[in-house]
Chain A
């Protein structure tokens, strides 16, 4: 984040401390919050929680000119747990395809308490991504604030934490390290359908332990089992209210894209007047967040929606009959825009037709625009309905096991 913002934040913190330490103690929240905590109702009846501000602005585009596109970004405030020592991190990637808050150490100026494993060794976390990138770093805890919502003592990942052991071979996947230049953001806010980044598979020691959590004594980091509570968490699921999912709304775009686009992320589904399930269909998913897409008569069960993917990724050049771009084979480059339709089907059987287009990616990239609804490329295993899918839609992402007015998560609704 930039220096002026830091100065302003510190000024606010000092002001808050001088003006009312009791208020801070009572709400145990972060400095700078504009929300009102629930004050409780005298007389012994169960207090009705006062609705808190549950909406943040999200910005689609690119933080850095001409480097990235279709990045969905938001500001996230983290605090040392139970204190007013806070920092607002701008330009954090909003990612429905992953779970957990991951912040680049280089973007942090406050010291968040590190988590140790059962043996007292520093706990390391490894996240991998389909672009063959990995994020490695320490697990720490923070109070995470988004709008008026505060999740307390959330395990998060500090990517490339200084002084932390170097990445173990089992994490680096032969891939690209996540840093400011490769990420194009200051962190990743994973708000997908799962509550933890790994879940029960990482909580049981044994031969099948995925390389996600590592105990890091001085002798080196080794994969180990970690309870689900200690794992990196979806902060939304830890809010006191509005904690069953998120609603993402982005405006429609023209086929040529735009310089940027501004929308909203609302917390909770059917919990307040601004997040009702109106005019959408609920598509339940499997435990991984996958549902089905049927295209040209074939059904792809490993399909998903993902704000963290910057295109519509499906099939490949041979099976689609559209060439990839001459140099960048990650994208399609048809000679003219092609219109498609497909059927999305939830594990509950809900099915509907979606329409989308694929334009020549090189033509789009040669413009000054950074948001596009018609850029795409190949994907193995199913449809990766990335950020282009979200333009002109309101999309609900319900967390596994969470009750909502539309049923129990995990599901997508749109």
Chain B
């Protein structure tokens, strides 16, 4: 099963720009480093780890990785919004469907099933926070995704 999953991921990666994304394996973080041409730093925390990629303009992508090797949360801060279709991975469709609300100009707060996506900020200073409740390591609160 593991081999099949890895092969299918590589096939996907050959057709779309490969970013690590919510719900994807830890190994995919290296693609983000290449995409962002950034510096990577890893922090081990009790019960999870944080991969932080910093781009030359100061944009920071953090990916929160469970002991099982899945990315359960991401945060972004940067001058522009990130590509959420890529960063949300398998959850992107659910996010897109949930953001068709009219009557709104401002940050988003999306809760669909186990997916939570929050955006904020303004031109030159954007923030994004997203996590999957079903992928949170046991005993770890979503509050660590900051």
Q: Contact residues of A with B, CB < 8 Å?
A: 67-71, 93, 97-99, 126-132, 134, 169-170, 172-176, 184, 190, 192, 194, 197-199, 201, 206-212, 288-290, 302, 304, 306, 308-311, 313, 316-317, 324, 327-331, 365, 377-382, 384, 386
On whether the beta carbons of A382 and B120 are closer than 8 Å, the reply is yes
For the complex of A and B, the 7 pairs showing the least CB-CB separation, nearest first, are A208-B56, A174-B85, A381-B127, A207-B37, A97-B122, A208-B57, A128-B81
Please determine whether A288 and B125 come into contact, CB atoms closer than 8 angstroms: yes
CB of B57 within 8 A of CB of A201, answer: yes
A-B CB contact pairs (8 Å), 27 listed: A127-B123, A129-B105, A130-B121, A131-B106, A173-B81, A174-B83, A192-B122, A201-B58, A208-B59, A210-B78, A288-B124, A288-B125, A289-B122, A289-B124, A290-B125, A302-B127, A309-B105, A309-B106, A316-B109, A328-B103, A329-B109, A329-B111, A330-B110, A377-B106, A378-B109, A381-B127, A382-B120
Residues of B within 8 A of A70 (CB): 105
Q: Counting CB contacts under 8 A, is B29 at the interface?
A: no
B103 touches A98 (CB 8 A): no
Tell whether A128 pairs with B56 under 8 Å between CB atoms, given A212-B79, A324-B109: no
Judging by beta carbons under 8 Å apart, are A313 and B106 in contact?
A: yes
Closest beta carbon of chain B to A93's beta carbon, Å: 8
Chain A min CB distance to B79 (Å): 5
B99 on interface, CB distance cutoff 8 Å: yes
Contact call B55/A198, Cβ cutoff below 8 A = no
Known: A208-B37, A310-B105. 20 other contacts (CB 8 A): A71-B105, A127-B123, A128-B81, A130-B108, A130-B120, A130-B121, A131-B105, A131-B108, A131-B119, A134-B81, A174-B92, A175-B84, A197-B123, A197-B124, A201-B58, A207-B37, A212-B79, A304-B125, A316-B109, A330-B109
Q: Complex formed: what's the CA distance from A379 to B107 in Å?
A: 6
Residues of A within 8 A of B84 (CB): 132, 173-175
Q: Which residues of B contact A194 (CB under 8 A)?
A: 123-124
B86 and A212 form a contact (CB under 8 A): no
Task: Enumerate chain A residues within 8 angstroms of B81, measured Cβ to Cβ.
Answer: 128-130, 132, 134, 173, 175
Most chain B C-beta atoms within 10 Å of own C-beta, residue among A130, A172, A207: A130
The minimal Cβ–Cβ distance linking B77 to chain A, given in whole angstroms, is 7
The smallest beta-carbon distance between A62 and chain B, in angstroms, is: 9
Contacts of B101 in A (CB 8 A): 327-328, 330
Bound complex: CA A97 to CA B79 (Å): 13
- Let me know if A131 and B104 touch, CB within 8 A: yes
For the complex formed, measure the closest distance between the CB of B107 and the CB atoms of chain A, giving whole angstroms.
Answer: 5
Residues of chain B contacted by A365 (CB below 8 angstroms): 103
Chain B residues close to A by CB (< 8 Å): 17, 37-38, 55-59, 77-88, 92, 96, 99, 101-111, 118-129
Note all chain A residues with C-beta closer than 8 A to B87. Answer: 174
Which residues of A are found within 8 Å of B119, using beta-carbon distances?
130-132, 380
- Best-buried of B77, B102, B120 by chain A (most CB within 10 Å): B120
Q: Hey, which chain A residues are within 8 Å of B96, CB to CB? A: 174
B107-A380 in contact (CB<8A): yes
A residues less than 8 Å from B82 (CB atoms): 173
Asked if residues A316 and B118 are in contact (CB atoms below 8 Å), the reply is yes
Q: How far is the CB of B100 from chain A (nearest CB, A)?
A: 8
The listed residue (A67, A175, A288) touching B102 by CB distance below 8 A is A67
Contact of B126 among A126, A128, A311 (CB under 8 A): A128
Which of A71, A93, A309 is close to B107, meaning CB atoms less than 8 Å apart?
Answer: A309
Residues of B within 8 A of A331 (CB): 104
In the bound complex, what is the Cα–Cα distance between A184 and B83 (angstroms)? Answer: 24
A207 close to B105 (CB less than 8 A): no
With both chains docked as a complex, state the minimum distance between the C-beta of A177 and any C-beta of chain B, in angstroms. 13
> Are B108 and A330 in contact, with the CB atoms below 8 A?
yes
* Chain A residue with Cβ nearest B86: A174
Asked, given contacts A173-B84, A365-B103, A379-B107, whether A384 binds B56 with beta carbons under 8 Å apart, the answer is no
Residues of chain A contacted by B80 (CB below 8 angstroms) = 126, 128, 173, 210-212
Residues of B within 8 A of A310 (CB): 104-106
Chain B residues closer than 8 Å to A206, beta-carbon distance: 56
User: Which residues of chain B come closer than 8 Å to A329, judged between CB atoms?
Assistant: 109-111
The residue of chain A having its C-beta at the shortest distance from the C-beta of B54 within the complex is A208
| Minimum CB–CB distance for A22 against chain B, Å | 42
Contacts known (A198-B124, A316-B118); A130 close to B83, Cβ less than 8 A: no
In angstroms, Cα B102 to Cα A229, docked, is 36
**Contact residue among A190, A212, A308, A316 (Cβ-Cβ distance under 8 Å from B105):** A308
In the assembled complex, which residues on chain B have CB atoms less than 8 Å from the CB atom of A201?
57-58, 79
Q: CA–CA, A197 to B124, complex, Å?
A: 8
Smallest Cβ distance from B98 to chain A, in angstroms?
A: 8
